[in-house]
Chain A
Amino acid sequence: MFQNFRLSMAWLHTWFGLVLGFVLMVVFFYGSLSVFDREIDRWAIPSSRFAPQPMPSFDTILAPAFQKMQPAKEAVALLEGRVNGPLPERFEVVNSWGAYTTHRDPVVSVFAGFKVPNAKDPDETVFAVHALDPRSGAVLPQGQLRIGSEFFYPLHYSLHLTWKDLGYWIVGFSALMMLAALVSGVVMHRKIFREFFTFRRHKTVQRGALDLHNLTGVVALPFHFFFAFTGLVIFAGIYFPVAHTQLHDLHELHERVEARETGLPHERAGVAAPMASVDKMVAQAQRRWEAKGMAGDVGFVNVTHVGDANAYVSVYRAGTDRVALTGEGIHFKATTGELLRKDPPRTAVDSVNEFLTGLHLQHFRHWMLRWLYVLGGLLGCVCIATGFLFFVEKRKQQHAKAGGQGARIVDALAVTTVTGMLIATMAMLVANRLLPESLADKGEWERTVFWSAWGVAMVHAFVRGGAVARAGMNPAWREQCWLVAAGAMTAVVSNALTTGDHLARTISTGYWPVAGVDLSLLATAVVSVLVARKLARRAEQSTASATSTPLPKGGALGASMKNAEASHG
């Protein structure tokens, strides 16, 4: 098909990179934001703006809250058709209670899983999920969306396409093809070492874009490779769901055998029984970790078969001090507090898996590495964005001569996924601050604003794209930069006005989660303005010279875009 290997690699890189690049841009950008998802949550929900707390007392704080929990109406509504007979008013049988926190969370996530009576699938469970203030045990209102961990983070790995888990599959396929794009990119790139530090921004836009594409791809190559790869490892269970499809019966049998081996009951006994003090079990678990030289905080407490004689309590460690995501779970009989089991030492395969998963999910406490991950993610965004620019620059003269629309369409999609995505993000943050707290379904409104803003940005990019078909520059880049800047400023100001947490206060009191989001927004605004002005100057020059030859100041766009991305944390 192609004359040589390099050409076939170039074809693969160009076309798969182009199509999946739009997905990967979203994955990289919201992945970068997800590094600070908990901090964005603080910004979005002012009632959770206090210092991170350790796991609260189970007996006095968590248990009373759990007892009051019932699944939300929306969750119950989803059961329609999955049950023989009517849905119950109240769910009585509790399969599990779980409480989860990290060193960055002021609030604890609490979830209760209820058995669904008369369900067609006997394993059917309906969940109630809340954020809980560990100081008082009060649950936070449910209509509020934790924008960082409930919106940006799932957007990163599922694109919020929940229908048949389509989003997972698209992201997974893109990650797989990204690995191919990295390899083919290295094959195509003849001067990896000779041009390692090269960014010729004074030459043409095409040259500058390609330099920046190569630079950001090569210097962060280990990051790109490991994150695409570990992302796939984390979701291997979704991509190869043998346990719950072809091998369902075997899986069930395995669970029973495992339950017999571990002594952790697989089924309820059917006899009601009260619980002993869970706090004492937690304290014992902590003593056991300490004895192993792994003293640490509790990250996750789970009670299985709540209220039954077979109930057991599992206590897991928060993984703040190492990369590997290792829980060192210890399990107790809930009725007596007697030790049932300690998770055995890990096998080599488990250790590798935990390291790879931990590397990606980053539960560790290391602020510098967190910021370096943001940098890596944004370098990825720059790499993808400059890839689009290069594609367009290389073809637009030719397409203009032939009257083709290809470059125009790709350019408009690039505007949509670069500045359009930023506009959607800013619009959501502004909506979060300006919509009244009391609004029921506030979170739904925020989602609507996000997608609408993105849609409008896309229409704008296409409408203004005529210039590209004449080998010019799409003014939408410049106009959307102004909008991003305006949105970022509005978000910062409205945060100050609606909560009183302006930068002078958050910085002087050292409340970095909120100050950090505000400062990142300000940096984004500054860079967007600089980019917009640079683009405006270039547009003036090009109308003045009225030629279609590339401008001497080429690459400025790529350069300033790089800054735009790099400073957005």
Chain B
Amino acid sequence: MVDPIVLLGGAAVSAVIGFGWLALAMDTHWEQVHGETSPSPAAVRALRVAGALALAVSLVFCLGADHPSMAALVWLMLLAGSATAIAATLSWQPRWLRLLWLRRGGDGR
């Protein structure tokens, strides 16, 4: 039995990372983070899949911590919080999101 706090922490972290990846899959935000480049189509696909998966993982963590009815609420509210956090990061410190997806040479066009 894992401590619920660890699971909820995991849920929060994966929700933030998931939204970070989904944001990076968008041209405007990719530019904010990586400068004047666009992501390659393959990178966009990968980012979207990874982002969606991370959000799903977050839900699994929530389900591990609480009764399903409670877990669904926690997850929805975490999504609201983490989307706000990513939007705020993009507005103030977009470069921080570099850590989420290190750009390889081939991505820039």
A binds B: yes
Residues of A whose CB lies within 8 Å of any CB of B are 194, 196-201, 215-216, 219-220, 222-223, 321-324, 355, 359, 364, 366, 368-369, 372-373, 375-376, 379, 559
Other-chain residue from A197, A219, A369, A379 in contact with B90 (beta carbon distance below 8 A): A197
Contact, CB under 8 Å: B78 / A372: yes
Q: Is B109 an interface residue (CB 8 A)?
A: no
Cβ-defined partner of B80 (8 Å) among A199, A219, A322, A368: A219
Bound-state CA distance A227–B90 (Å) is 29
- The segment from B35-43, B66-74, B98-106 that touches chain A is B66-74
Q: List chain A residues, Cβ under 8 A from B86.
A: 197
| Residue interface bits B80-97, CB-to-A below 8 A is 1, else 0 | 110110111011000000
Q: How far is the CA of A196 from the CA of B20 in the complex (A)?
A: 12
Tell me the smallest distance from the CB of B60 to a CB of chain A, in Å: 17
Q: Which A residues touch B73, using CB under 8 A?
A: 323, 359, 369
Contact B91 A372 (CB under 8 A): no
**Least distance between A419 CB and chain B CB atoms (Å):** 22
Contact of A379 among B67, B76, B80 (CB under 8 A): B80
Please give me the 4 A-B residue pairs with the lowest Cβ-Cβ distance, nearest first.
A372-B77, A219-B83, A220-B80, A197-B87
A323-B67, A375-B84 known; 13 other A-B pairs, CB under 8 Å?
A: A196-B83, A197-B83, A197-B87, A199-B88, A215-B87, A219-B83, A220-B80, A321-B67, A322-B69, A369-B73, A369-B77, A372-B77, A376-B77
Q: Are A372 and B90 in contact (CB under 8 A)?
A: no
| A-B contact list, 17 entries, CB within 8 Å | A197-B19, A197-B29, A198-B28, A198-B90, A199-B87, A215-B87, A219-B80, A220-B80, A322-B70, A323-B67, A359-B73, A369-B70, A372-B78, A376-B77, A376-B80, A379-B84, A559-B91
**Which residue on A lies nearest to B27, using beta carbons?**
A194
Chain A residue nearest to B76 in the complex (CB): A222
Please determine whether A375 and B88 come into contact, CB atoms closer than 8 angstroms. no
CA distance A322 to B74 in the complex (A): 12
Interface digits, B13-24 against A, CB 8 Å rule (1 contact, 0 not)? Answer: 000000100010
Residues of B within 8 A of A (CB): 8, 19, 23, 26, 28-29, 66-67, 69-70, 73-74, 76-81, 83-84, 86-88, 90-91
Least distance between A103 CB and chain B CB atoms (Å): 15
Residue of B nearest to A563 (CB): B88
Q: Which chain A residues lie closer than 8 Å to B23 at the CB level?
A: 196-197
Within the complex, what minimum Cβ distance (angstroms) separates B86 from chain A?
Answer: 6
A369 and B69 alpha carbons, distance in the complex (Å): 12
Q: Which one of B19, B28, B67, B80 contacts A223 once the chains associate, using CB atoms below 8 Å?
A: B80
| Interchain CB contact (< 8 A) of A368 among B19, B28, B74, B88 | B74
Bound-state CA distance A197–B89 (Å) is 9
Q: What is the bound-complex CA distance between A223 and B72, given in angstroms?
A: 12
Q: Which B residues are in CB contact (< 8 Å) with A369?
A: 70, 73-74, 77
Interface contact A324-B69, CB-CB below 8 Å: yes
Q: A197-B87, A216-B84, A379-B84 are in contact. Are A223 and B76 (CB under 8 A)?
A: yes
Query: B77 contacts A373, CB within 8 Å?
Result: yes
Please, how many angstroms separate the alpha-carbon atoms of A222 and B28 in the complex?
26
Which chain A residue shows the least CB distance to B81?
A375
User: What residues of B have a CB within 8 angstroms of the CB of A199 in the complex?
Assistant: 87-88, 90-91
The smallest beta-carbon distance between A52 and chain B, in angstroms, is 20
Residues of A within 8 A of B88 (CB): 199
Q: Is the CB of A194 within 8 A of B26?
A: yes
